[in-house]
Homo-oligomer: A and B are copies of this chain.
Amino acid sequence: MPGKNTIETCENCPVKWENFNHLTQAEIKLVNDNRYEATFKKGEILIKQDSPSSNALFLASGMAKSYYEGINGNNFILGILLPGRLIMGPGAFVNSRYAYSVSALTQVQACFINFDIFRYLIKVNGEFAESLLQDISLKAFRSHIRMVNLAQKKMAGRLAEVVLNFSDEIFKADEFDIILSRQELGEMTNMVKESVVRILKEFEDSGVLSAKSSVIKILDKVKLRQISEKG
């Protein structure tokens, strides 16, 4: 199944990062000339935490998760990664180590682009620099909200929040295959898998959603939102 390159050129890539629109023809050619595609099977690691970081990453197709490998092997899933979005941790500008790992949730086609290209573009193209700052700020903003939610909500609220996020941001649908295992849902919401199961069952019993194995169908979004917001 791993295949040949799927993308001819960055310029008219169907999942082009929108910030590349700030680049000149020559600049985007530079990006294109310095990118490397690779294919990964489900479960394979694209980026390993703590290893020397030298590349930013884009998904051409498929889905991945970013996660932090924490205290005694306990993972903490930071987010779900989709095509069209820049994947570049703070390591690029901090300590040249990847701050988190990334692994494929499905078969994935990925483009790697060296940081040096980014650093060069930041210096020569103010519009691009600003758009990158916007991108990074948005990520910081979200992670900040997430931290508070994790800290202040109880289990049901946290899980409701994640389910809503899948519905609103990732699949844009009320019924979807949530790809993550119960274990992984726990790693996103900071609870053990048994608790995920129990709360999902509570949601089913109260008619908020149905969850047949990995297929989630939201039945009462208003209520789900209430649960998420009340904590």
Q: A interface vs B, CB < 8 Å? A: 68, 70-71, 74, 76, 78, 89-95, 99-100, 119, 122-124, 126-127, 129-130, 132-134, 136-141, 143-144, 146-148, 150-153, 190, 230-231
CB contacts (< 8 Å) of A231 on chain B: these are: 71
Given A134-B94, A148-B68, A150-B147, are A129 and B123 neighbors across the interface (CB < 8 Å)? yes
CB contacts (< 8 Å) of A130 on chain B: these are: 93, 119, 122-123, 129
Q: When A and B form their complex, which 7 residue pairs have the shortest distance between CB atoms, in order from nearest?
A: A123-B126, A93-B137, A129-B129, A90-B137, A90-B141, A93-B134, A90-B140
Shortest CB–CB separation between residue A81 and chain B, in angstroms?
15
CB contacts (< 8 Å) of A140 on chain B: these are: 90, 136, 139-140, 143
Q: Which residue of B lies closest to A124 (CB)?
A: B126
Q: How far is the CA of A231 from the CA of B70 in the complex (A)?
A: 10
Q: How far is the CA of A49 from the CA of B89 in the complex (A)?
A: 26
CB contacts (< 8 Å) of A68 on chain B: these are: 144, 148
CB contacts (< 8 Å) of A78 on chain B: these are: 144
Given A134-B94, A140-B136, A143-B140, are A70 and B148 neighbors across the interface (CB < 8 Å)? yes
20 interchain pairs (CB within 8 A)? A70-B152, A71-B153, A74-B152, A76-B151, A90-B140, A90-B144, A92-B137, A94-B137, A94-B138, A119-B130, A122-B126, A123-B127, A126-B126, A129-B133, A132-B133, A136-B137, A140-B140, A143-B147, A146-B147, A147-B150
Q: How far is the CA of A155 from the CA of B100 in the complex (A)?
A: 24
Where chain A touches its partner, the secondary structure class is: helix
Q: Is the CB of B134 within 8 A of A136?
A: no
User: A99 contacts which of B141, B152, B153 (Cβ < 8 Å)?
Assistant: B141
User: A122 contacts which of B129, B138, B147 (Cβ < 8 Å)?
Assistant: B129
A-B contacts besides A76-B148, A123-B127, A133-B133, 5 pairs, CB < 8 Å = A93-B133, A122-B126, A122-B133, A126-B126, A147-B147
User: A76 contacts which of B71, B122, B132, B152 (Cβ < 8 Å)?
Assistant: B152
Given A119-B130, A122-B133, A129-B129, are A141 and B74 neighbors across the interface (CB < 8 Å)? no
